[in-house]
Amino acid sequence: MSNQPIGVFDSGYGGLTILKELVATLPEYDYLYLGDNARAPYGDKTFEEVYAYTLQSVEWFFKQGCSLVILACNTASAKALRTIQQNNLPSLDPNKRVLGVIRPTSEVIGQLTQSKHIGVLGTQGTIKSESYLLEIAKFFPEIKVTQEACPEWVSLVEKNLYASTEADYSVKYHIDEILSKDAKIDTLLLACTHYPILINKIKQFTPAGIRIISQGEIVAKSLISYLNNHKEMETKCSKMSKKRFFTTGDVEDFNEHASLFFGAEIVAEKLIF
């Protein structure tokens, strides 16, 4: 019997919005979650920092027995995934896989717009990397993509201010900004795993008729098709519906906040790097 949970990584809490959908869609698998809360946020960190932290976390997942790790963080996917896949994976273990969230999102986002004008909201790191511009152009070259960095949104969520008047101001500001750059946008992608927590505010300040897309379901569907197409990986993944949660931050803080993102109680364990 294999004991190989699917690893799910985020800089902190945000990846739990992805894990929630993975568990809802593929409940039979085992999952191991790591939030690097002690070093979050990643959004304003350099390429070298995000790469070093993400690689260290991937190595940890491999030591725990995971053969498949999902970087459920756009910033880590934008800044570290390709280098890890190309430079580290061959020597770490060529039979293991690390997947991100930008490619699966880019593969389908073009099917969701009528006007062929999309807005991407993300952290500074994700937006500056231009990963979404490059990836969406590969699949949907006819689509115009407009970006907006929303640097305050992660901290509004992390500080539990997602329903505050500060959130009102900041959400309205960035929605107005992106729509003023391109009035034909009919689809807004929340390209940061923290942003679904702000969904009520985002809906409040987004004109009717504009679709707001979170990534959880997209990533879950993409994992189903990945596992269908890679039976050698699928058979390695253990299926006892077990879930374990680790944080590099404060365990009590994590347990208190994490249920908001995951939708169920969590009892996390501490990881010290």
Q: What residues make contact with ligand DGL under the rule CB under 6 A? A: 10-12, 14, 40-43, 73-75, 123, 126, 154, 192-194
With left for phi above 0 and alpha for psi between -120 and 50, is residue 107 left, alpha or beta?
Answer: alpha
Tell me how far, at minimum, the Cβ of 147 lies from ligand DGL, in Å.
13
User: Rounded to 5 degrees, what angle do the CA atoms 128, 8, 236 make?
Assistant: 130
CA distance 262 to 13: 9
User: Active-site residue among 66, 150, 192, 237?
Assistant: 192
Beta carbon of residue 105, minimum distance to ligand DGL (angstroms, whole number)? 11
Q: Which of 66, 73, 150, 237 does the annotation list as catalytic?
A: 73
> Which residue's CB is nearer to ligand DGL, number 5 or number 43?
43
To ligand DGL, the closest distance from the beta carbon of 57 in angstroms equals 13
Tokens 């409040």 sit on residue = 204
> Does 237 qualify as catalytic in the annotation?
no
Cα dihedral sign, 171-134-228-242: negative
- Nearer to ligand DGL (CB atom), residue 192 or residue 220: 192
Alpha-helical runs (H) found in 64-113:
74-79, 81-83, 89-92, 102-109
Shortest Cβ 235–ligand DGL spacing (Å): 30
Are 17 and 8 within 8 A, CB to CB?
A: no
Q: Considering beta carbons, is residue 5 or 14 the nearer one to ligand DGL?
A: 14
Give SS3 for 246: strand
Residues taking part in catalysis:
73, 192
